[in-house]
Amino acid sequence: MATPSRAALYALTLLFSLVFSVKVTFAQEPPEQTERPYFVTYDDHIENRGELELSLVTTTANARGESTRYYAPWMELEYGVTSWWTSELYIEGASFLGDGSTFTGWRLENRFRPLKGDHLFNPVLYVEYEDVNDASRIQTEVVGRGPLPFGTISELTEDRNRELEGRLIVSSYFGRWNVSENLVVEKNLSAEEGVEFGYAVGVARSFGSGFETCRFCASAFIASIEAYGGLGTTASDATGALQQYIAPVFSWHVTPGSLFRASIGFGLTSASDRYLVRVGYSVELDFK
């Protein structure tokens, strides 16, 4: 089994240490929010029972080497099945500069919060089934080794992947701060690729205490930073550097029921894209 690079271990050690560098006495209930203030990292946010949320998100990237620039939009429909179970449907596509556009597939995600109330460490269990092809570029998780596969759209859409992804999510609050850690495990059910591993870690801070209805009040804004990347695979023939990214994120509660997010992720290794520009808007759908 391939082992993580030293750079990945150093990044994980640094970011995880933030959890223990803040005194527990500052822990309190999490601030009110519409959606998590990250793009890749998950916190313990669960939709209220019966609530439906719509998110429109895009990733634009400039890949390294001879690979082309691409644009990958996707839509999320998130529904609160119970007070502890949220289910989410992804519909995604991709457009390659000079090569056209295509539908890349769908994903069904489920998150379960086993503990009631707020604790120092709030665990969430995550299971996702994916039916996507090799043209998928939304990069909501980064696992394994090596860069993404590249080629023409017609070539990439021929390879269809049915994958099962699991995450262990742990989220903590310290005053206005949130610290979230994700361990990602993914298995391609359509090919013998071994089991792939990845991580995501995020730190976020609200500019105000308590959420207000004012659009431009300090409490309507959140500053975050997340790091994510691959941690290797069990496949003995896997080669290539690990993808690693670091990305500041800006979030704005435009209204009490909506959130705008923007981020620029920077690739840190030769296997990573040079940058990932993400923009997203989430809104609660009220049918009452």
SS (H, E, C) 57-110: EEEEEECCCCCCCEEEEEEEEEEECCCCEEEEEEEEEEEECCCEEEEEEEEEEE
Burial class from Cβ neighbours inside 10 Å (0-12, 13-18, 19+) for residue 112 reads middle
The more confident residue out of 3 and 265 is 265
Q: Is the pLDDT of residue 16 over 50?
A: no
* Cβ atoms of 283 and 258 closer than 8 Å: yes
Which residue matches tokens 């695979």? 233
Q: Write the single-letter amino acid at 85.
A: W
Q: Is the pLDDT of residue 184 over 50?
A: yes
* Cβ atoms of 254 and 282 closer than 8 Å: no
Residue 67, pLDDT score: 66
Domains of the chain: 6-285 (2.40.160.40)
The more confident residue out of 4 and 214 is 214
Q: Is the pLDDT of residue 209 over 90?
A: no
Half-sphere exposure (Cβ direction) of 13: Cα atoms closer than 13 Å: 7
pTM: 0.86
pLDDT tens-place string over residues 80-117? 999 999 999 999 999 999 899 999 999 999 999 999 98
Picking from 224, 286, 287, 223, the residue whose alpha carbon sits closest to that of residue 255 is 286
Q: Is the pLDDT of residue 37 over 50?
A: yes
pLDDT tens-place string over residues 241-277? 999 999 999 999 998 889 999 999 999 999 999 999 9
pLDDT tens-place string over residues 54-82? 999 999 998 876 667 999 999 999 999 99
- Label residue 33 by pLDDT band (50, 70, 90): low
> Which phi and psi angles does 8 have, rounded to 5°?
-65, -40
Picking from 241, 243, 231, 247, the residue whose alpha carbon sits closest to that of residue 273 is 243
Q: Is the pLDDT of residue 15 over 50?
A: no
Give the pair of three-digit tokens for residue 27. Answer: 């822990």
Which residue matches tokens 């435009």? 254
Q: Average pLDDT of the chain?
A: 87
3-class secondary structure, 220:
helix
pLDDT tens-place string over residues 144-165? 998 898 888 999 999 999 999 9
Stated length of the chain:
288
Residue 215, pLDDT score: 82
How many C-beta atoms surround the C-beta of residue 196 within 10 A? 25
Residue 211, pLDDT score: 60
Alpha helices in 131-256 (DSSP H): 153-156
- Label residue 11 by pLDDT band (50, 70, 90): very low
- Label residue 25 by pLDDT band (50, 70, 90): very low
Residue 192, pLDDT score: 81
* Cβ atoms of 44 and 31 closer than 8 Å: no
274 Cβ partners below 8 Å, 6+ apart? 61, 62, 63, 64, 266, 267
* Cβ atoms of 49 and 80 closer than 8 Å: yes
3-class secondary structure, 16:
helix
Taking residues 196-200, report their average pLDDT.
97
Q: Tell me the Ramachandran region of residue 105: left when phi exceeds 0, alpha when psi lies from -120 to 50, beta otherwise.
A: left
C-alpha 277, offset from chain centre: 13
Give the pair of three-digit tokens for residue 198. Answer: 């990845």
Q: Is the pLDDT of residue 51 over 70?
A: yes
